[in-house]
Amino acid sequence: MLLILLATLLVLALLYGGVCAFYWLFQERFIFVRFRVPQGHVFKFAQPFEEIFLDTDDGARLHALRFTVEKPHGVILYFHGNTGSLRRWGKRARRFIDLGYDVLMMDYRGYGKSRGAISETVLHADADKWYAHAVKLYGEENVVVYGRSLGSGFAVPLAATHAPKMLILESPFASLLDIASYQFPLLPYRWLLRYPMRSDKAMLRVKCPVYIFHGKRDPVVPYKSALRLYSLVPSDTHREMITFAKGFHSDLGSFARFQRRLASILRCPSLP
């Protein structure tokens, strides 16, 4: 009986170790669901736009789209979610264009036309490079940093390091540890996860106004993670948490209140 018990425990331990090893090796495929686009692909959008390429010191080539309007109020530096490419995300530019903003939207390495080896360090460096490009074109006081889901993990550290006009987050997380533990609670992610993306630590240093949109029914990013992120905004910094009781992860833009609040935030020239 004891031998059977020991054999069972050994098999379970081996299975558990195998699952951990599998996650360690293939976690990038879960976190970054990349869709490549041929370099010769021609994007088609109703709004005027241009393609921008930036080269990095480590040999990567980054790609973005810049949508433009006449006499823009500023620019939305948009960091998209973990799935798809600019073929999909470029359609989101319309909501900001209609409010009078230019939009600079990039693909991360391995997405769309962007190429290069990835790590959390280089991805943050890429985000900083795009921020510098936006500042060069528009001036820092006219840059709105916008992070959608995974993109919030790049947007928050940027706002913590620099001084943009404001930081807007849609379905954000405090840390990828929160999401991993929420989705698969039995694995030791603090040792396995190579992309913790600790927005919770970065948020403590943010000084610009912060606006967070999140749905209580979000099955991907737990609402409590966004709430924790909100609680970490410094007390002397303007902050707003806009909650959607019936909102999920990817449907917030379909709520009329989302559109009204976004318009109110972006049209507001200054805060009281």
Q: Rounded to an integer, what distance in angstroms lies between the CA atom of residue 171 and that of residue 133?
A: 26
**Phi-psi group of 9: left, alpha or beta (phi > 0 → left; psi -120 to 50 → alpha; rest → beta):** alpha
Is 35-267 a domain of CATH 3.40.50.1820? yes
**Encoded amino acid at 258, one letter:** F
- CA terminus-to-terminus distance, the chain: 73
For the four alpha carbons of 204, 206, 210 and 214, in that order, the dihedral sign comes to negative
Domain boundaries, the chain: 1-31, 35-267
Give 186's pLDDT tier (boundaries 50, 70, 90): confident
Give 226's pLDDT tier (boundaries 50, 70, 90): very high
> Looking at the chain, which runs of residues are DSSP E strands?
33-34, 49-55, 61-67, 75-79, 83-84, 102-107, 143-148, 166-170, 210-215, 239-244
Percentage above 90 pLDDT, the chain: 78
Q: What is the mean pLDDT of residues 43-71?
A: 95
Query: Residues 237-261: pLDDT tens digits?
Result: 999 999 999 999 999 999 999 999 9
* pTM score: 0.92
Cα 64–112–52 angle (5° rounding)? 20
At residue 269, the pLDDT reads 46
- Look at the block and give the residue holding tokens 């630590």: 201
Q: What is the mean pLDDT of residues 172-183?
A: 89
